[in-house]
């Protein structure tokens, strides 16, 4: 895997997400990349470069942030960095299979897609998932209770939807921590 290519992707998303503050920012993509690399270490059959690029670029055309079509931002970066059409299509198909809301219950076809989906979902769990939930809610005018609902609608379901063995292991403590958080939140907000 080419270190310069990965650095270029990191630099590209740093510029792309400048000013984003609702949990979908460059730091999120860097954490997804780190999670994905950790999982990929335990999946010897996977293409590391594809996993790395798909993880770093997975939100580059997120419809909540960008008004692009056909993975325009991801494709622009990949073309500028000499990645061929076949590999670019593969990376974009992975990116498009990762989103939770658009792929409810659907498992990505490739091993690389399974890894990146797990990596993205892990970043919606645990302490960082809690922080992101309320950062997003605050920016979009959602009351705290709306954030709590989001745990029940999405975040608490993720543990049982992990694709890889390592993803499942990494999800365990994050899931437990969210449960503890909710217990505390409920006890502090319940009026006797
Ligand atoms: Ni994401």
The rounded Å distance from CA 59 to ligand 1 centre is 6
Mean pLDDT of 82-89: 96
CATH number of the domain enclosing 30:
1.10.3210.50
The rounded Å distance from CA 192 to ligand 1 centre is 39
The rounded Å distance from CA 119 to ligand 1 centre is 9
The rounded Å distance from CA 191 to ligand 1 centre is 36
The rounded Å distance from CA 116 to ligand 1 centre is 9
The rounded Å distance from CA 58 to ligand 1 centre is 6
Mean pLDDT of 169-184: 98
pLDDT, tens digit (0-9, with 9 covering 90-100), for 6-51: 999 999 999 999 987 777 789 999 999 999 999 999 999 999 999 9
- Which of these ranges, 9-13, 49-53, 81-85, 95-99, has the smallest mean pLDDT? 95-99
The rounded Å distance from CA 166 to ligand 1 centre is 19
SS3 39: helix
Mean pLDDT of 176-183: 98
For residues 48 and 2, what is the distance between their CA atoms, to the nearest angstrom? 10
Q: Does 86 have pLDDT greater than 80?
A: yes
With 0-12 CB in 10 A as exposed, 13-18 as middle and 19+ as buried, what is 27? middle
pLDDT at 65: 86
- Whole-angstrom CA distances from 126 to 21, 62, 141 are 19, 22, 22
pLDDT at 101: 61
pLDDT at 19: 82
The rounded Å distance from CA 89 to ligand 1 centre is 19
pLDDT at 105: 67
Looking at per-residue pLDDT, the higher value among 66 and 104 belongs to 66
Can you give the pTM of this predicted structure? 0.93
- Whole-angstrom CA distances from 127 to 113, 143, 148, 169, 178 are 24, 19, 14, 16, 7
The rounded Å distance from CA 4 to ligand 1 centre is 23
The rounded Å distance from CA 53 to ligand 1 centre is 13
pLDDT at 192: 58
Number of domains in the chain: 1
pLDDT above 90 as % of the chain:
84
Query: Which of 183, 123, 185, 184 shows the shortest CA–CA distance to 154?
Result: 123
Question: Domain span at residue 163?
Answer: 3-189
The rounded Å distance from CA 129 to ligand 1 centre is 11
pLDDT, tens digit (0-9, with 9 covering 90-100), for 165-174: 999 999 999 9
pLDDT at 168: 98
The rounded Å distance from CA 95 to ligand 1 centre is 10
pLDDT, tens digit (0-9, with 9 covering 90-100), for 129-161: 999 999 999 988 999 999 999 999 999 999 999
* DSSP H/E element including 165: helix 165-189
């Amino acid at each position: 895997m080419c270190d310069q290519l990965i650095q270029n992707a990191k630099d590209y998303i740093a510029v792309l997400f400048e000013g984003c503050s609702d949990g979908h920012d460059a730091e999120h993509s860097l954490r997804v990349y780190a999670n994905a690399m950790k999982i990929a270490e335990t999946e010897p059959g996977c293409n590391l470069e594809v996993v790395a690029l798909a993880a770093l670029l997975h939100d580059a055309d997120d419809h909540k942030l960008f008004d692009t079509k056909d993975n325009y931002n991801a494709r622009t970066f990949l073309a500028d960095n000499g990645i061929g059409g076949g590999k670019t299509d593969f990376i974009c198909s992975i990116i498009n299979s990762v989103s939770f809301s658009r792929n409810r219950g659907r498992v990505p076809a490739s091993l690389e897609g399974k890894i990146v989906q797990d990596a993205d979902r892990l970043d919606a769990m645990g302490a960082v998932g809690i922080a992101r939930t309320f950062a997003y809610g605050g920016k979009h005018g959602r009351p705290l209770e709306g954030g709590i609902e989001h745990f029940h609608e999405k975040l608490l379901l993720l543990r049982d939807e992990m694709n890889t063995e390592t993803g499942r292991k990494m999800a365990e403590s994050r899931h437990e921590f969210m449960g503890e958080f909710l217990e505390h939140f409920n006890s502090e907000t319940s009026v006797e």
